[in-house]
Every structure is written in structure tokens, then in C-alpha cells.
Amino acid sequence: DSGVTQTPKHLITATGQRVTLRCSPRSGDLSVYWYQQSLDQGLQFLIQYYNGEERAKGNILERFSAQQFPDLHSELNLSSLELGDSALYFCASSAPGSVGAQYFGPGTRLLVL
Amino acid sequence: AQSVTQPDIHITVSEGASLELRCNYSYGATPYLFWYVQSPGQGLQLLLKYFSGDTLVQGIKGFEAEFKRSQSSFNLRKPSVHWSDAAEYFCAVGTQTGANNLFFGTGTRLTVIP
């Protein structure tokens, strides 16, 4: 158990819909990262937040957005969903100063029908 | 731009045999390197990491990896594989900027046969 929690574990929705994925980082970690894992794209970095502020952006679509709240939990919002958005979405967190050592949550499996 | 190549998509080894998973990276500066393992239906677990210093790093579960700058490689090794090691293994490179985001290879799936 990494200490990172993600909800829900599974999500089934339809094209065009909007969903919100939630992540709680390990206690004391200030950084939260979101990754997408799909069969065709592999593991891709989406976005990073540090103590409530956006720190880095990767291959995140404009239909996707994220935020980190004062209690440090984070939400990833996916809108206008397409079939190709079906994937595993992982959240990871890291402690201040621990460059690169990220701890991953169990993921949310999203299926868009 | 940084990138990671894991040339072996799938490797099969016998239980008790030695294991080496290959990883090559591309990055302009000294990289931060990581190996993660993902069991079926699970998240990624950090096996080991290299930041600087000794080029041979020890990790959890009996794994080790060696950083070879001249070959841009960071291969993962284990002297004797256990059936429970069957999983997907990912090599990743991290940058030295404040971003800390990781770039992952495509993974190597390890099958262990009795």
C-alpha cells in the first residue's frame, strides 16, 4: 500500500459525458501527478500540481483539467469523453525535495462506451 | 527531450534463473532513473532509483540496477527469479527541473515458468 488513494476504482460512462477522478496523496506529500495508461499510448504524464499550483503539463488534452485543493487532494476532470479516453488513470505523489521518487495509487479504470 | 527505451516487450524466464531487463535512456544531463513494477490490476511500485553516486543501486525484492553512462543504460537485474516476480516492469527517467515528472518506457512483461 503506497498511501495514495484514488476513487473510484472503476468508472463506466458514455461518450460525451464528464467524470471526475479523485486522488488523495500520501500524508505530507505536496506534489500530485496524474498519468494515463492505455494500450496504445503506454504510461503518459498528464499534469503535476505542487501545493495547489500547477507545476508541469504533459500530454493533457484540453478537454481534461485538474486541480489541487487546500487539503492537497486532487481531482482530474475529463469532459466530452470519447471512446479513446478509456484507460487507467493513475495518481502519484511525492514528498518535498524527493526528486522523482513518486508513489502511485491503485488507479481508476475508466471505460467509455 | 528525454525518452526511455525498453527493447524487450516480453521476457520469459524459469523460476530460479537470473534476470536482466534492459533500459536505455536519452537525456541531455545526468538523469534520475527509476524502475517500477506493476502487478496485474495494481498500481506502480517503486523498485529502486538512481540519483547520483554509486552506479550500482539496490532495491526492494532483491532487485538491483546498474547505471552505465557510457551506454546510456540502466538495466535491472535479479540473480534468482521467484514466481511472484511475474509482472510488468517500467523504466523511467526523471528530469532535474522543478517539474519532477517522469517519462516511462513502454514496459517489459515478465513471465515466470516453473
Q: A36-87, pLDDT tens digit by residue?
A: 999 888 889 999 999 999 988 888 999 999 999 999 999 999 999 999 999 9
Q: How far apart are CA B67 and CA B39, in angstroms?
A: 24
Sign of the Cα torsion A69, A71, A72, A74 reads negative
Residue of B nearest to A100 (CA): B100
Q: Which residue of B has its CA nearest to A1?
A: B45
Pairing between strand B24-26 and B3-5?
Answer: antiparallel
pLDDT of residue B96: 63
Query: Nearest C-alpha of chain A: how many angstroms from B70?
Result: 22
Closest residue on chain A to B48 (Cα)? A101
What is the mean pLDDT of the segment spanning B81-91? 96
Per-residue model confidence (pLDDT) at position B108: 97
- B102 in contact with A, Cβ within 8 Å: yes
Instruction: Quote the minimal CA–CA distance from B79 to chain A in Å.
Output: 25
Cα B40 from Cα B8, distance rounded (Å): 18
Which pLDDT score is estimated for B78? 98
Answer whether B60's CB lies under 8 Å from B47's CB.
Answer: yes
Q: Does the beta-carbon distance from B43 to A31 stay under 8 Å?
A: no
Q: Which of B25-29, B31-35, B54-58 is predicted least confidently?
A: B25-29
The residue whose grid cell reads 486522488 is A23
pLDDT in tens, B60-70: 999 999 999 99
Q: Which residues are bridge partners to A108 per DSSP?
A: A89
A positions 68-107 inside 8 Å of B (CB): 90, 92, 94, 99-107
B27 — pLDDT class (breaks 50, 70, 90): confident
* B6 min Cα distance to partner chain A (Å): 12
Residue B34 has pLDDT above 70, yes or no: yes
Q: Which residue has the cell 553512462?
A: B69
Q: Residue A46's closest CA among B106, B28, B7, B104?
A: B104
CB crowding A83-107: b at 16 or more within 10 Å, else e: eebbbbbbbbbbbeeebbbbbbbbb
* CA A11/CA B17 separation, integer angstroms: 40
Taking residue B29's Cβ as centre, other Cβ atoms within 10 Å add up to 9
Burial of B19 (0-12, 13-18, 19+ CB in 10 A): middle
Using H for helix, E for strand and C for coil, what is the string for B48-92? EEECCCCCEEECHHHCEEEEEHHHCEEEEEECCCCHHHCEEEEEE
Give the pLDDT confidence score for residue A41 in this predicted structure.
84
pLDDT band at A98 (very low <50, low <70, confident <90, very high): low
